[in-house]
Amino acid sequence: MASPLQHQPKSVILEHGYINVYSELNPKEKRQLSYKRRYKKENPSWDETMVYLSHRFSELCGNDAVVLDAGCGNGNYIIDENRGNIAWAVGVDVSADYTSKNICLDDIKTADLGKLPFESDKFDMVTSLWVLEHLENPLRVFGEIHRVLKPGGVFMFATPNKSFLPLKIVHTIKLSRFNHLLNRTLFGRDKQDVFPAYYKANTIKDIAGLSQGLFDIDELKLNSDVSYTSFNEPSYLITKGLLKLPGGFSRLMQPHIIGVLRKRNA
């Protein structure tokens, strides 16, 4: 293993503030960021999903942690924020084409998440951000993550909530076939950055079922993010109002599932 001097943060903070920025943002991403920061000022008890998980990582991660980013893509905010506690961070994705801009990891492997190229009981932490929705066989992937985690190791993830009302509408009226157009319009993502989504691990119930016999659930909850439906002042105010409604409707306006699972020992 390399010396500690080689484990200094590789990413550069381009902008400080609530939600630090580690890469260049397109105009639509800048819009989203501005609404997240505004909502935080108006609702101090709320935390954006990546910020929340970064804090949880810091709480749970000991010094010199060995970390796997499963489905690493071009970056990982949690790892960027916590490099000081990480001795070694390796990522896995299905193609090198998807990781060409990733500068936060010490190593990147090209492999299927259902067959990880690591020995058992290797990692203290596994993170997976916006990946579960793309899994055709999530049970196999959960099994592999369990295998490579050390006893008591933590699997931490964020994924879309299948019951998020705008997402339900998209699928109900069959707009999902135009998924790449929606992502380009809403988030400025190119077609090659939009992948097939199966949503087989995207409800609290489904994830709890996949965890049985493998993980104890430390935390499994929904989280709001106004930026998904805030395009101007009126839409921002409407989104905030919907989140304040009582009962189950406000749950339909929470786009993210946050998970913190701990490897169950035999």
pLDDT score, position 148? 98
How is the chain split into domains, by residue range? 4-263
Q: Which residues of the chain, if any, have pLDDT below 70?
A: 1-10, 172-195, 266
- pLDDT at residue 248 in the model: 75
pLDDT of residue 72: 97
Residue 184: predicted pLDDT: 52
Domain 4-263 CATH superfamily:
Vaccinia Virus protein VP39 (3.40.50.150)
pLDDT at position 246:
83
pLDDT value, residue 38: 98
* pLDDT score recorded for residue 170: 75
Q: What is the pTM of this model?
A: 0.89
CA-based Rg of the chain, rounded to a whole angstrom?
A: 18
